[in-house]
Every structure is written in structure tokens, then in C-alpha cells.
Amino acid sequence: MRGAIASSIAHDAHNFTCAGMDDISMAAALRELSRIRGGIVIAEGEKILAEIELPVGGLMSLLDAGEGLKKLEALAAARDALGCTNPHAFMHLSFMSLSVIPELKLTDKGYFDITGGGEIPLFVR
């Protein structure tokens, strides 16, 4: 796998979330996500491979259904081209921040083990 995906769909806090294989791809995806004011972005290195703008609260599109479908299909193709084998990667990323359901959750306050309780350090000393 390579590249990064960033999204403004992040239940319940709706902050930006990003997962990736390298810092450059992640930074590019997050910069573009900020520029378009919310949505889903896939990047490889500095190159943006696909995106959908979700300017209404970072959750909803202004596109008609046909154009929205084309953008979602382009995102799926870019995801697959980067070697992601999870067909539900967008959904899984959006629920990583939903801190009320188990197990490990990424929040604006840190990384938490919801089942066992407590914050998980992001860095090993």
C-alpha cells in the first residue's frame, strides 16, 4: 500500500481524519481537504488522485447524484490503485473517531482504548 486518504466525515467530532503510508501523502491529502473545505481526498506523494467536495458541514455535497457517483467511483478506483484491499476503507476511517463504540479510537484528545480504558501513547519511549 501507498498514499493517503483524508476525510472530514469523522463521527462524532467531525474533525479531519487521515490515514496514510507516508508523511508527504498525508500532508498533501490534508492540505487539499482544507482547501476544498471538507470531503474525501486521496493522495500519493504531492499528487491528488481523487476527491469529492463536501462543503456543507464537511458532510454533504452540492453535486447532483450522477456527478457525485462519478466522484465516488473515482475515489474507489484511486483507493484500489494504491493497494488498499478494504472495500469499506472510507467508512472505517469515518468511524475511527466515534469514541463511544469499542475498541481503539482516535479522538481530538488522543488515541484511546475504549474497552480497556485509558489513553494509548502515540510515541514509544
Q: Which distant-in-sequence residues (6+ apart) come within 8 Å of 120 by Cβ?
A: 104, 110, 111, 112, 113
Domain of residue 52 covers 4-98
pLDDT class for 6, splitting at 50, 70, 90?
Answer: very high
Mean pLDDT of 59-66: 96
Model confidence at 52: pLDDT above 90: yes
Spatial separation of the C-alpha atoms in residues 99 and 76, rounded to whole Å: 26
Statement: the pTM of the whole predicted model exceeds 0.75: yes
Model confidence at 80: pLDDT above 80: yes
Spatial separation of the C-alpha atoms in residues 58 and 52, rounded to whole Å: 10
Question: Does residue 55 lie in a domain region?
Answer: yes
How many structural domains comprise the chain? 1
Question: Does residue 12 lie in a domain region?
Answer: yes
Model confidence at 42: pLDDT above 80: yes
